A = this chain, B = another copy of it.
Amino acid sequence: MSGVRAQQKEKTRRLLIDAALNQLSAERSFSNLSLREVAKEAGLAPTSFYRHFSDMDELGLTLVDEAGLTLRQLMRQARQRIAKGGSVIQISVQTFMELIESNGNIFRLLLRERSGTSAAFRAAVIREIRYFTMELRDYLQQANQLDAEVAYMQANAAVTIVFSAGSDALDIDDKNEREQLAQQTIQQLRFIARGAAELSDRRKAGKK
């Protein structure tokens, strides 16, 4: 079992995934992408699609997984940069904005399918975002000595703000405008961090 066959299969599976990803854009969402178009882009006959996915939905869920992976890469990269010193918030936002610039399509997928029409998709996207939020919560709780619940609320708010800013950034061409958006986002995250720190302190004081 040299695996020549399996290897080839994996290769064209990848072709399909990339074909779908490449067709995504501001004016093209996954949900109005047809099986035939994806197959065509991948250089396959429409019916060959079924050798790899039973459905467009199945392909879509694979893409969401891919997006989750990207999100985790983001988190890791931000951590590495933070370890070298500097403002945590600033570095995080900057890293996030870089990701959006280089992976706009996959990020669009997440944003759109989060409020999309397929329950399975919504669930998958929400799961990825929740995972991301929880990781941030753990970090905040430990790094800032926060009350657990407060840390969650901060993480949740921060993710919401950053994702929303990311969505806006996708529609902005001008470099200066994007920088301005980033600065605003940083300030907003600081608002939240400040409020969270205070509440956490108040809770600790109350318990004593």
Contact = CB atoms under 8 A, between A and B. Distances in A.
Interface of A: 26-29, 31-32, 108, 111-112, 114-119, 122, 153-154, 156-157, 160-161, 164, 167, 171, 184, 187-188, 190-196, 198-199
Given A27-B118, A122-B171, A164-B160, A191 B191 contact: yes
Given A32-B31, A161-B160, A188-B157, A108 B115 contact: yes
A32 B117 contact: yes
A30 to B, nearest CB: 10
Summarize A's interface: helix, strand, loop or mixed. helix
Contacts of A117: 26-29, 32
Which of A116, A192, A195 has the most chain B CB within a 10 Å cutoff? A195
B184 A190 contact: no
Contacts of A171: 122
Nearest to A190: B195
A188 B196 CA distance: 8
A27 B15 CA distance: 29
Contacts of A27: 117-119
Given A153-B187, A194-B195, A115 B112 contact: yes
Contact of A191 (B118, B187, B195): B195
